[in-house]
Amino acid sequence: MRPNRRDFLSQAGTFVFASALLRSVAGASEGQSKTRLILLGTKGGPSVSERGPGNSGRSNPSTLLVINNVPYLVDCGYGASRQLVRAGFELHRLRHIFITHHHSDHNLELGTLLYNAWITGTPVEIDAYGPPGLVKMVQDFFSYQQFDIDTRIVDEGRPDPRKLFACHEFEKPGLVLQNDDVKVSSCFVPHPPIKYAYAYRFDTRDRSIVISGDTAYAPELANFAKGADVLVHEVMYMPAVEALVKQLPNAKRLREHLVAAHTLPADVGKIAAAAGVRMLVLTHFVPGDDPSIADDDWAADARKFFKGRIVVGKDLMEI
């Protein structure tokens, strides 16, 4: 039976979606290895691109960290399952998903990804963390696919996926997760009109990596990212935005939203410099569909302020 909403009101601040099974399937017997950072999807926004003339071929936002051989995913826009597989990770190996905020380019594939991990047929256990709304989103997805799931449980002898995943909602920034390999913390970032928008910081034995999520220029993010090795930051290129919005009927409104909610390259450079990070990785490109924007267009203004290494992200790039 599907758990009802009351079942989630279990412990202070944590909503446990269901009891988890089969601890630690990934990397348990392998030695400690370097923390890896892999960009799965680098295009800001929910529209879907395909490779070819006239577009960039970037997938929607998703970023992977592999810590001691265990994959940790930040955001899962459309295509995240496919990108994970393309990056060489079987979906059942995924252990932790972090959602920065509830724009669909960051969560559209959350339920689908859980489903896709379950359907591999291999033991799976995933904890998802994110702002309020996460539990209902996953519940609703399982309702949406109830017929299929109930059919396969009986017809194919599969375990009930609704008992395999745990969702943890949180309303305040701070410590999100700590285990032997990593400490994950969060801070609020300004991304109007969304109230709960988080950046995440991963401190592992060998690296500190900060993921900005979607954010307007946020000096407080520099404090949060202080001394990190890598800052992965969203970016918006205004000349291309101006050209893009001119073609749209909702141009004025859309432009206002973008300006209020995202960060220009120069300001990204200021944040990276103030944080004192060693490397700045640009991702969540807005607009992400315009192949005429050269790598240097994204990086040039950031470089005026940040003297460390700047990486203009590409899908499936490992850093």
CB of residue 129 vs Zn ion: minimum separation in angstroms?
Answer: 17
| Nearest of 299, 226, 244 to residue 269 by alpha carbon | 299
**Is omega for the bond preceding 287 within 30 degrees of 0, making it cis?**
yes
CB of residue 44 vs Zn ion: minimum separation in angstroms?
Answer: 5
Toward Zn ion, which CB reaches closer, 80 or 182?
A: 80
Which residues lie below 8 Å from residue 125, measured CB to CB, with a gap of 6+? 20, 21, 22, 23, 24, 25, 95, 164, 165
The size of the chain, in residues, is 319
Toward Zn ion, which CB reaches closer, 78 or 306?
A: 78
CB of residue 134 vs Zn ion: minimum separation in angstroms?
Answer: 15
Toward Zn ion, which CB reaches closer, 100 or 208?
A: 100
CB of residue 98 vs Zn ion: minimum separation in angstroms?
Answer: 14
Where along the sequence are the contacts to Zn ion (CB under 5 A)? 44, 103, 105, 214
- Output the CA–CA distances (angstroms, integers) from residue 310 to 202, 232, 270, 301, in the order listed: 19, 10, 13, 11
Toward Zn ion, which CB reaches closer, 35 or 186?
A: 186
Q: How many CB atoms lie within 10 A of CB 141?
A: 18
What is the C-alpha separation between 68 and 210, in angstroms, rounded?
17
Toward Zn ion, which CB reaches closer, 127 or 234?
A: 234
Our CA angle for 305, 303, 319, nearest 5°, is 115
Structure-block tokens of residue 288: 């992400």
CB of residue 100 vs Zn ion: minimum separation in angstroms?
Answer: 8
Element (H, E) at 40: strand 36-41
CB of residue 270 vs Zn ion: minimum separation in angstroms?
Answer: 21
Toward Zn ion, which CB reaches closer, 96 or 103?
A: 103
